[in-house]
């Protein structure tokens, strides 16, 4: 009856959403989030979709094979050009591609949320963090691997009104993924992890509970 808290929340490898906790993967090189939060306003983001990363796993291979150096709207790199900032690219992109690597989880999901860029989760079998209280479909795009060739058409099919709504929701949920250097704050990353463990400890399903609705209403504004 143990509760596992895992970044690699892969249902194909035995992850059980009803009793295990999906932990966000975060890569903080300096241990600080200073300069990572925020980005350009929606009207000033010229790039439709962005990804930069090494060939880790078959999903990234498919993504790079399909899109690397192919389209100015969908900018996919294995390595960024010299003097091009990764964080700057995140902050001026509308959608940030978050393909699984060797494991299903990726720090790019949280990096996108920090930069107020709509995360596009490209995976099969990944259970996103805090899915019992956060409606990921409200602030992200979740694509199966088979849809990699159709990324541009899918993202172009999202209306400006819908994109602005999703962007607003990303800003709302950002606090749930923030690592605070001092004491934990209400609904920050630490609070959310403890809350997820508490839910499994009680072995309750709260999809329709008032607390779930409170969190989900924030994203539906």
Q: The CATH number of the domain where 100 resides is what?
A: 3.40.50
Model pTM greater than 0.75?
Answer: yes
**H or E, element range at 160:** helix 160-173
Are 111 and 90 a contacting pair, CB within 8 Å? yes
Residue 127 pLDDT:
78
- The pLDDT score that the predictor gives to residue 2 is 66
The residue-averaged pLDDT of 64-72 equals 94
pLDDT class of 218 with cuts at 50, 70, 90 = very low
Can you spell out the DSSP letters for 44-113?
G--EEEEEE----SHHHHHHHHHHTTT-SSEEEESSPPTT--HHHHHHTEEEEEEE--SSS--THHHHHH
For residue 105, the model assigns a pLDDT of: 66
**Number of folded domains in the chain?**
1
Given a cut of 60, whether residue 212 has pLDDT beyond it is no
CA pair distance 218, 141, nearest whole angstrom: 18
pLDDT value for 71: 94
Tell whether the model's pLDDT for residue 41 goes beyond 90.
yes
> Residue 14: is its pLDDT beyond 80?
no
User: What range defines the domain where residue 24 resides?
Assistant: 5-219
Taking a C-beta distance cutoff of 8 angstroms, is the pair 115, 38 a contact? yes
Q: Quick one: pLDDT at residue 10?
A: 57
Bridge partners (DSSP) of residue 95 are 49, 118
User: Residues 53-71: what's their mean pLDDT?
Assistant: 91
Q: According to the model, what pLDDT value does residue 56 have?
A: 82
Taking only the tens place, the pLDDT of each residue in 165-207 is 999 999 999 998 988 777 777 888 887 877 777 766 666 444 4
User: What do you get for the CA distance between the two ends of the chain, in Å?
Assistant: 38
What confidence tier does 219 reach under pLDDT thresholds 50, 70, 90? very low
pLDDT at site 184: 72
């Amino acid at each position: 009856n143990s509760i596992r808290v895992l970044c690699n929340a892969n249902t194909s490898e035995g992850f059980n959403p009803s009793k295990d906790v999906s932990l966000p993967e975060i890569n903080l090189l300096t241990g600080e989030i200073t300069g990572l939060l925020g980005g350009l306003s929606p009207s000033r983001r010229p790039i439709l979709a962005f990804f930069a990363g090494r060939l880790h796993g078959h999903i990234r291979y498919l993504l790079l094979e399909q899109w690397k150096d192919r389209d100015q709207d969908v900018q996919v790199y294995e390595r960024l050009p010299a003097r091009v900032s990764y964080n700057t690219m995140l902050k001026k992109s509308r959608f940030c591609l978050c393909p699984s690597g060797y494991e299903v989880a990726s720090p790019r999901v949280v990096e996108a949320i920090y930069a107020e860029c709509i995360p596009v989760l490209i995976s099969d079998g990944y259970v996103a963090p805090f899915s019992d209280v956060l409606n990921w479909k409200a602030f992200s795009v979740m694509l199966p691997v088979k849809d990699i060739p159709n990324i541009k058409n899918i993202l172009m099919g999202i209306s400006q009104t819908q994109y602005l709504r999703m962007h607003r929701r990303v800003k709302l949920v950002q606090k749930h993924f923030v690592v605070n250097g001092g004491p934990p704050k209400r609904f920050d990353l630490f609070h959310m992890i403890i809350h997820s463990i508490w839910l499994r400890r009680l072995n309750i399903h709260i999809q329709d509970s008032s607390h779930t609705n409170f969190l989900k209403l924030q994203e539906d504004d």
